[in-house]
Structure 1
Amino acid sequence: MLELKNITKKYGNRTIINNLNAQIKDNEIMCIVGPSGAGKTTLLRCISGLEKIDQGQFILDGKVFDPTSNDENVIGVVFQDFQLFPNLTVMQNITLAPELVLKESKAEARQRAQKLIDQLNLTGKEDLYPYQLSGGQKQRVAIVRALAMNPKIICYDEPTSALDPNLRDEVANIIIGLKQTEVTQIIVTHDMDFAKKVADDMLQVQPVK
């Protein structure tokens, strides 16, 4: 379980998140919702270690945890704009980090990647480049790339914002299906219908006054 205790984040004199507390249970889907300017993405960036908090603690499985170190690749991130490398194929995008960071052999990385590719219905796309993929396919590649690092937690920033409405249900089904892999998922979204479909729990945030 991931616990957020008295999390505070400031930019200069402006407080974005103030003494926030939450618990995210293992293998559950938590959606962070709220109006624009409430700090949803900032909170996600703090959880994933892309931003440092000013006060508070993250506690993972009963132990204080610093997401900014993330030495064990505990947390994976699926960005809003996917951030795939345009000069690499689907397979290369997925296997790059496992080879460089986890020190997997090329064969090991490809074998694991292929299983995930098959699981997320991307079979046959291995040698394509990002520009040859649809938005929904790019989203799935980004999810596979995060899963390939074998994280305990995956964070998503607005996973449906760049997709056509008819692809929203496809992404929802993928995220729900990933519960079988026993990965905890944290999702920032403005899409309440999507949140209601996928979430085991919701964290509503409001702008700090």
Structure 2
Amino acid sequence: MIELKNIKKSFNGRPILNDINLTINDGEILAIVGPSGAGKTTLLRALAGLGDIDSGEILLDGQPFDPRSSDLKNNVIGVVFQDYNLFPNLTVWENVTLAPKMVLKMAAAELETKIKPILAQLQLAGKDALYPFELSGGMKQRVAIARALAMQPKVLAYDEPTSALDPSMRTEVANLLLDLKKDGVTQIVVTHDIELANNIADKIFTVNAIS
């Protein structure tokens, strides 16, 4: 369980997050919604250790937690970015296994036993040798999710998972996230897509712009 208590963040004297209080329970899907500029992505980056906060407290399972000091080997929150950030010169397999190999020091046999099931779960079996330019937007997203899951995070977070996809793929995205929930994956979804949020979320948290 992750708890946020009285989180505040400003940029150049302009408040973005003001006294954010939020609980993310294990195994649930939390959707963070709100208008552009309200601080959704800022909140996500703070949770993932990619940005700092001015004040407040983050707790992990009841203990103080600083995402910025979290060792990659003890990955807590994995992030699937809006543009996926896949390495164009690496295959699907190489993109997904690079961090586990370099950071977690997984040997070839362990990569086979731990990563192959993730690819199968995300309908990527048999796509190992393809390069990003050979994949559809939906497939690139699945590879990005597989890469995040390969690091065995406690929480998986998404920044606008439907923004780069055709509207017809929203149902596919929703089903994917719900399938991961069945496997016990705790998920945070930052989205403008209210329909997606309503379809998948156990809890919706609205971030409002501060005037």
TM category, shorter: over 0.9
Under a length normalisation based on structure 2, what TM-score does the superposition of the two structures give?
0.97
User: Which residue is 1:99 aligned to?
Assistant: 101
- CA-CA distance at 1:106 after TM superposition: 2.4
User: Which residue is 2:13 aligned to?
Assistant: 13
Q: How does 1:112-191 map to 2 (within 5 A)?
A: 112-191=114-193
Q: Secondary structure at the match of 2:86?
A: coil
RMSD: 0.9
**Counterpart of 1:79 in structure 2: which amino acid?**
F
Moved over 3 A (4+): none
Is 2:54 aligned against 1:50?
Answer: no
- Alignment length (residue pairs): 209
Q: Secondary structure at the match of 2:189?
A: strand
- Is there any run of 5+ residues in structure 2 with no aligned partner, and where? none
**Counterpart of 1:8 in structure 2: which amino acid?**
K
- CA-CA distance at 1:111 after TM superposition: 2.7
Distance 1:176 1:61 in 2: 23
Q: Secondary structure at the match of 1:59?
A: strand
- CA-CA distance at 1:10 after TM superposition: 1.3
Q: How does 1:71-110 map to 2 (within 5 A)?
A: 71=71, 72-110=74-112
Query: Does the 8 A contact of 1:48 with 1:75 survive in 2?
Result: yes
- Is there any run of 5+ residues in structure 1 with no aligned partner, and where? none
**Counterpart of 1:188 in structure 2: which amino acid?**
V
Distance 1:89 1:53 in 2: 36
**Counterpart of 1:63 in structure 2: which amino acid?**
Q
**Counterpart of 2:124 in structure 1: which amino acid?**
L
Deviation sequence 1:44-78 (CA, Å, 0-9, x none): 11111100111011101010111112211111000
Distance 1:45 1:185 in 2: 14
Query: Does the 8 A contact of 1:52 with 1:68 survive in 2?
Result: yes
Deviation sequence 1:71-101 (CA, Å, 0-9, x none): 1111100000000011100000000001111
Deviation sequence 1:9-36 (CA, Å, 0-9, x none): 1112111101110111100000000111
- CA-CA distance at 1:166 after TM superposition: 1.1
User: Which residue is 1:27 aligned to?
Assistant: 27
- CA-CA distance at 1:127 after TM superposition: 0.3
Under a length normalisation based on structure 1, what TM-score does the superposition of the two structures give?
0.98
Distance 1:156 1:127 in 2: 25
- CA-CA distance at 1:113 after TM superposition: 1.4
Q: Secondary structure at the match of 1:56?
A: strand
Query: Does the 8 A contact of 1:91 with 1:110 survive in 2?
Result: no
Q: Secondary structure at the match of 2:171?
A: helix
